[in-house]
């Protein structure tokens, strides 16, 4: 039995402890905003927050999340997330959109720790998230815009 | 897929028998019956039924007639729902097509919503493809341009007529603006008149607006899909949840064209959560209660494969075979003047031999499909790119009548051509689900499955010889393109015109440069690897070849690449237009910082001209970075400038990804790549700043989904050529020169 908190709700999971967190979210809890892309922590489509830090849920066995606080795109609501989401919408960042939950979770994590990231900071923080539509140019712009909006209060 | 367009246009011009054979070939079927839509009043539904009858009477023209009355419905709460006949895979058609209707309807953008159309080859066909519903060839806006404007204009006229009758005033005196119908002091929303309007006759040729009156077309309006795609709420195939749904993972042979010889599934069947293990023609599927159970059980399968029909050569041998073919005479696809004689007379002949690798689509959403087979019907949920073809193929696989195969189209998490593929994953999913009747089965591919079963952009080899005159003109160009055909051996083989697949030399035989002696030959090389259209198809590699060779010729002529091109494009004003705009906006000719070089490329694909200038910083150790790209595009009327910009940015990013690092290679016939560690995609740190400039135009709109991709590889290679003086003729370029 593994206990963890997902989007503020305590969960007890009686499952194979090797099950990746991604499949608990998707197949058991039907939270499908977090996506499968590669299954090897190479693309970032499955990014969620564990204790506030971005992790790749496709490669994180639930046994490694015992007692952790998990936040997904469905539950996160920090000021940084709100600013990121708003900027994403104002700049119409999305194209196919499939990777964007992961992009937004990584961008939120960045702004929660770095109030005023440079392009280089953004490239470093976001380089684990692939976007085949190559919305990268707008992602950079949206993160700057969200940082401006937060005005250093992230 | 411009050859589809070409074929269709030609078929339309040809005799009746040609059109019929095309129809038979596609085995196109009518979904018939009523529309599978939600509640609301479908404008002109009576006329749709009449149109069905006329098509049932075997008219050969009605299928291509505009069926504008099937595209929108208005509910009493004044919500206008636009029926989107194309797949939205990120290119923004849900926004673009909806705006065409909204414009002519004089609706407010906020009241517009949309949903994907059901499969229906005469109501929702691609007008460029005859009676086939499908998305590709950057044709969605182009083929729908007048059809949807007329649909909106017709609905507007019907609302006005209903209001005129109710208010007892002349229709001409009624105004419609921003979703409000008004006359004098009276006004109403659309909802109040929707029911009455829907019963009126549909105007056959409704007047559309003068472009100067456009309120939405040409303006920056927000995408309709941004909110749900930034909240995790957008539903992709991957996300479908149905009662009792099972998950299927497939063990495919390690090479395409392999077959199952012997299966031992005992351990897999005994694995927790497994419901069934089923064989089907292309593999063995483990069907389980969830993904993880299916994945663990799949690892327990013991399968012997018959690989006797599979490729055995390695990439270097395949390239050698291509070079051998290129050194022989190919099939002539263009022969203007006498290139051989002109080259014999030339003082200096420039020669180049190119190699382009297989590349794969690698959309971030791996391939998947949900199918539920009942006794006499079947329902699918997936990102369907060719609805009426998939419907027909599922019918053939399951023995269910096509009209009882219902397709629910969902967002695609990228496609880039991959989901427009007959006899492939959709048929696999149906073959699995039919063995578990009554249960919805979600077939998922992992990334490894996806790369193994990818259908690659063909590898290619080009041999070129060219010469320039002392006055800096190209006097001769002799070109032999060798590549595997895309359509040969597929259900689309009938689309190949002439002796050679048109994708081998597209963008070369019809290059926009004026060259008096131009000889283009093409040769198909058979390789036992599955191929498919990859964003911009043949143009993706051919533009690189043509544009870098042009720079080699410019250097031989001792001319600046832009000045050189200007002369060759004097007869092609729209090409010249993008060339000049890109040159101006990039300040071509002005000095650059130390270590930075520029390169330019211009290419037309799918009716759209694009020029790109790449600024590349080359370090002392030879490593380089593309820092900035200035892009000029002429796609006719710019329906949605921001979506156009986005598609150019995306095309540049994907093209750069392939140019720098993508290659599928074979070792003794086996694909060597499996996931993003050995098939690296462009990441944000390699993405340049991009500036997009749109040429103002009143021409018919053409596509933007693909044309942004072809020029970038050539623009970057030309910048590196300028920096080092060394021409680059192989892709990928890698990260060093």
What digits encode the pLDDT tens for the residues B445-463? 999 999 998 899 999 999 9
Secondary structure (3-state) at A29:
coil
Cβ–Cβ gap A40/B677 under 8 Å: yes
Q: Could you give the CA distance from residue B440 to residue B237 in angstroms, rounded to a whole number? A: 13
Closest Cα in chain B to A88: B230
Q: Which of A36-40, A148-152, B537-541 has the lowest mean pLDDT?
A: A148-152
pLDDT at B362: 98
Mean pLDDT of B550-573: 97
pLDDT in tens, B380-433: 999 999 999 999 999 999 999 999 999 999 999 999 999 999 889 999 999 999
Domain ranges within chain A, ordered by starting residue: 2-71, 79-150
Partners of residue B92 in chain A, C-beta under 8 Å: 95
Give the contacts of B287 (CB within 8 A, at least 6 positions apart).
Answer: B246, B247, B248, B274, B275, B276, B277, B278, B294, B432, B436, B441
- Exposed, middle or buried by CB within 10 Å (0-12, 13-18, 19+), for B557? buried
> Rounded to whole angstroms, what are the CA distances from B148 to B71, B143, B731?
7, 9, 41
E strands in B203-258: 246-251
Q: Could you give the CA distance from residue B730 to residue B185 in angstroms, rounded to a whole number? A: 70
Mean pLDDT of B68-93: 89
Q: Which residue has the higher pLDDT, A143 or B74?
A: A143
pLDDT at B53: 39
Whether residue B252 has pLDDT greater than 90: yes
End-to-end Cα separation, chain A, in angstroms = 36
pLDDT in tens, B97-150: 999 999 999 999 999 999 999 999 889 999 998 889 999 999 999 999 999 999
Name all domains of chain B by residue range, CATH numbers in brackets.
5-222 (3.30.365.10), 237-308+367-444 (3.30.365.10), 315-359+455-724 (3.30.365.10)
Distance of CA B696 to the CA centre of its chain: 24
pLDDT at B489: 83
> Rounded to whole angstroms, what are the CA distances from B152 to A80, B182, B338, B629?
41, 18, 53, 38
Six token digits for residue A145: 């815009």
Six token digits for residue B301: 């399968």
Q: Are strands A69-71 and A2-6 parallel, antiparallel or unpaired?
A: parallel
Whether residue A154 has pLDDT greater than 70: no
Whether residue A4 has pLDDT greater than 60: yes
Whether residue B669 has pLDDT greater than 50: yes
Cβ–Cβ gap B653/A36 under 8 Å: no
DSSP bridge partners of B336: B518
User: CA of B598 to nearest chain A CA: how many angstroms apart?
Assistant: 20
Six token digits for residue B438: 């009554």
Mean pLDDT of B660-670: 98
pTM of the model: 0.93
Place of tokens 């910082």: B593
Asked if residue B174 lies in contact with residue B182, where contact means CB atoms within 8 angstroms, the answer is yes
Q: Could you give the CA distance from residue B517 to residue B340 in angstroms, rounded to a whole number? A: 8
Task: Please report which confidence band the pLDDT of residue A152 belongs to, taking 50, 70 and 90 as the band edges.
Answer: low
Asked if residue B401 lies in contact with residue B454, where contact means CB atoms within 8 angstroms, the answer is no
Cβ–Cβ gap A26/B234 under 8 Å: no
Residue B261: how many CB atoms within 10 A of its CB? 12
- Exposed, middle or buried by CB within 10 Å (0-12, 13-18, 19+), for B300? middle
Asked if residue B380 lies in contact with residue B406, where contact means CB atoms within 8 angstroms, the answer is yes
User: CA of A38 to nearest chain B CA: how many angstroms apart?
Assistant: 5
Partners of residue A57 in chain B, C-beta under 8 Å: none
Asked if residue B598 lies in contact with residue B722, where contact means CB atoms within 8 angstroms, the answer is yes
Secondary structure (3-state) at B41:
strand
Whether residue B55 has pLDDT greater than 50: no
Mean pLDDT of B689-699: 97
Give the contacts of B105 (CB within 8 A, at least 6 positions apart).
Answer: B72, B80, B152, B153, B155, B156, B176
Whether residue B611 has pLDDT greater than 80: yes
Strand ranges across the sheet with B41-42: B41-42, B72-74, B80-84, B112-116
The minimal CB distance from B226 to the residues A89, A123, A132 is found for A89
pLDDT in tens, A52-86: 999 999 999 999 999 999 999 999 999 999 999 99
- Of B516, B527, B159, B490, which is closest to residue B313 (Cα–Cα)? B527
Q: Are strands B112-116 and B175-177 parallel, antiparallel or unpaired?
A: unpaired
pLDDT in tens, B281-295: 899 999 999 999 999
Q: Could you give the CA distance from residue B294 to residue B490 in angstroms, rounded to a whole number? A: 31
Mean pLDDT of B460-484: 95
Q: Are strands B666-667 and B670-671 parallel, antiparallel or unpaired?
A: antiparallel
Q: Could you give the CA distance from residue B485 to residue B530 in angstroms, rounded to a whole number? A: 10
DSSP bridge partners of B408: B381
Could you please state the CATH topology (level 3) that the domain comprising A79-150 is classified under.
DNA polymerase; domain 1 (1.10.150)
pLDDT at B69: 64
Asked if residue A88 lies in contact with residue A104, where contact means CB atoms within 8 angstroms, the answer is yes
Mutate to test the interface with A, among B224, B227, B229, B680 (most CBs of A within 10 A): B229
Between A and B, how many CB-CB pairs are < 8 A?
A: 175
Rg (CA), chain A: 15
Phi and psi based region of residue B92 (left: phi greater than 0; alpha: psi -120 to 50; beta: remaining): left
Task: Please report which confidence band the pLDDT of residue B75 belongs to, taking 50, 70 and 90 as the band edges.
Answer: confident
Asked if residue B219 lies in contact with residue B95, where contact means CB atoms within 8 angstroms, the answer is no
* Average pLDDT of the residues of chain A: 96
Helix runs in B399-504, H state only: 425-433, 447-452
Six token digits for residue A141: 């712009």
End-to-end Cα separation, chain B, in angstroms = 34
Architecture of domain A2-71: Roll (3.10)
Task: Please report which confidence band the pLDDT of residue B495 belongs to, taking 50, 70 and 90 as the band edges.
Answer: confident
User: CA of B444 to nearest chain A CA: how many angstroms apart?
Assistant: 10
Cβ–Cβ gap A27/B291 under 8 Å: yes
Whether residue B633 has pLDDT greater than 70: yes
Six token digits for residue B681: 């995609």
pLDDT at B472: 84
């Amino acid at each position: 039995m593994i206990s963890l908190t997902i989007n503020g709700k305590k969960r007890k999971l009686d499952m194979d402890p090797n099950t990746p967190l991604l499949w608990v979210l998707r197949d058991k809890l039907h939270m499908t905003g977090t996506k499968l892309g590669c299954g090897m922590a190479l693309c970032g489509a499955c990014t969620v927050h564990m204790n506030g830090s971005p992790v790749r849920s496709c490669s994180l066995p639930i046994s490694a999340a015992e007692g952790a606080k998990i936040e997904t795109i469905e539950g996160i609501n920090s000021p940084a997330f709100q600013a990121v989401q708003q900027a994403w919408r104002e700049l119409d960042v999305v194209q196919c959109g499939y990777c964007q939950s992961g992009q937004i979770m990584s961008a939120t994590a960045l702004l929660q720790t770095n109030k005023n990231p440079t392009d280089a900071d953004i490239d470093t923080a976001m380089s684990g998230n692939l976007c085949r539509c190559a919305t990268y140019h707008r992602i950079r712009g949206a993160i700057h815009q969200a940082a401006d909006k937060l005005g250093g209060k992230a | 897929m411009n050859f589809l367009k070409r074929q269709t246009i030609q078929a339309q011009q040809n005799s009746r028998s040609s059109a019929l054979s095309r129809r038979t070939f596609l085995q196109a079927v009518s979904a018939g019956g009523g529309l599978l839509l939600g509640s609301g009043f479908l404008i002109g539904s009576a006329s749709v039924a009449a149109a069905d009858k006329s098509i049932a009477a075997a008219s050969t023209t009605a299928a291509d007639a505009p069926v504008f009355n099937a595209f929108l419905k208005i509910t009493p709460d004044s919500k206008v729902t636009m029926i989107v006949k194309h797949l939205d895979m990120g290119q923004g058609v849900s926004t673009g097509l909806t705006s065409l209707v909204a414009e002519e309807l004089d609706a407010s953008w906020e009241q517009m919503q949309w949903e994907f159309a059901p499969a229906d080859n005469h109501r929702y066909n691609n007008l460029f493809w005859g009676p086939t519903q499908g998305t590709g060839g950057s044709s969605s806006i182009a083929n729908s341009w007048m059809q949807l404007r007329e649909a909106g204009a017709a609905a507007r006229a019907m609302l006005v007529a209903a209001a005129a009758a109710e208010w007892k005033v002349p229709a001409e005196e009624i105004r419609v603006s921003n979703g409000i119908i008004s006359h004098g002091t009276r006004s109403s929303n659309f909802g109040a008149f929707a029911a009455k309007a829907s019963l009126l006759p549909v105007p056959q040729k409704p007047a559309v607006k003068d472009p100067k009156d456009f309120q939405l077309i040409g303006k920056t309006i927000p995408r309709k899909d941004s909110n749900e795609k930034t909240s995790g709420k957008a539903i992709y195939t991957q996300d479908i949840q149905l009662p009792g749904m099972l998950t299927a993972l497939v063990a495919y042979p390690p090479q395409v064209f392999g077959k199952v010889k012997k299966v031992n599934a005992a351990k897999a069947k005994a694995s927790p959560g497994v419901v069934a293990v089923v064989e089907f023609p292309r593999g063995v599927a483990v069907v389980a209660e969830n993904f993880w159970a299916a994945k663990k059980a799949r690892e327990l399968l013991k399968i012997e494969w018959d690989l006797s029909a599979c490729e055995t050569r390695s990439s270097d041998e395949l390239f050698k075979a291509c070079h051998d073919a290129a050194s022989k005479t190919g099939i002539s696809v263009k022969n203007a003047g006498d290139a051989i004689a002109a080259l014999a007379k030339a003082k200096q002949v420039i020669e180049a031999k190119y190699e382009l690798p297989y590349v794969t689509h690698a959309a971030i959403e791996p391939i998947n499909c949900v199918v539920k087979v009942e006794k006499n019907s079947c329902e699918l949920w997936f990102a369907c790119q060719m609805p009426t073809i998939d419907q027909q193929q599922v019918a053939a696989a399951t023995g269910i009548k096509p009209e009882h195969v219902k397709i629910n189209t969902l967002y695609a998490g990228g496609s880039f051509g991959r989901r427009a593929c007959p006899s492939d994953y959709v048929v696999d999913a149906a073959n699995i689900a039919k063995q578990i009747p009554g249960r919805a089965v979600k077939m998922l591919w992992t990334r490894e499955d996806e790369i193994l079963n990818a259908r690659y952009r063909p590898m290619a080899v080009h041999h070129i010889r060219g010469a320039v005159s002392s006055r800096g003109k190209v006097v001769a160009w002799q070109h032999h393109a060798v590549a595997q055909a895309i359509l040969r051996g597929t259900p689309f083989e009938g689309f190949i015109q002439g002796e050679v697949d048109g994708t081998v030399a597209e963008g070369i035989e019809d290059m926009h440069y004026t060259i008096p002696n131009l000889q283009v030959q093409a040769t198909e090389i058979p390789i036992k690897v599955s191929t498919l259209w990859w964003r911009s198809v043949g143009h993706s590699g051919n533009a690189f070849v043509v544009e870098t060779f042009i720079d080699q010729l410019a250097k031989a002529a001792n001319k600046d690449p832009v000045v050189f091109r200007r002369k060759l494009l004097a007869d092609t004003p729209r090409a010249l237009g993008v060339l000049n705009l890109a040159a101006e906006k990039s300040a071509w000719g002005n000095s650059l910082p130390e270590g930075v070089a520029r390169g330019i490329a211009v290419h037309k694909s799918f009716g759209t001209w694009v020029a790109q200038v790449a600024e590349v910083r080359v370090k002392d150790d030879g490593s380089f970075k593309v820092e900035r790209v200035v892009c000029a595009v002429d796609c006719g009327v710019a329906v949605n400038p921001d979506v156009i910009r986005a598609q150019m940015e995306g095309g540049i990013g994907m093209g750069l990804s392939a140019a720098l690092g993508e290659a599928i290679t074979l070792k003794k016939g086996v694909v060597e790549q499996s996931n993003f560690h050995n098939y690296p995609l462009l990441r944000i740190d390699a993405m340049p700043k991009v500036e997009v400039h749109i040429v103002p135009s009143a021409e018919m709109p053409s596509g933007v989904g693909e044309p942004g991709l072809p020029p970038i590889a050539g623009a970057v290679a030309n910048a590196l050529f300028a920096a080092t003086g060394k021409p680059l003729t192989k892709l990928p370029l890698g990260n060093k020169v």
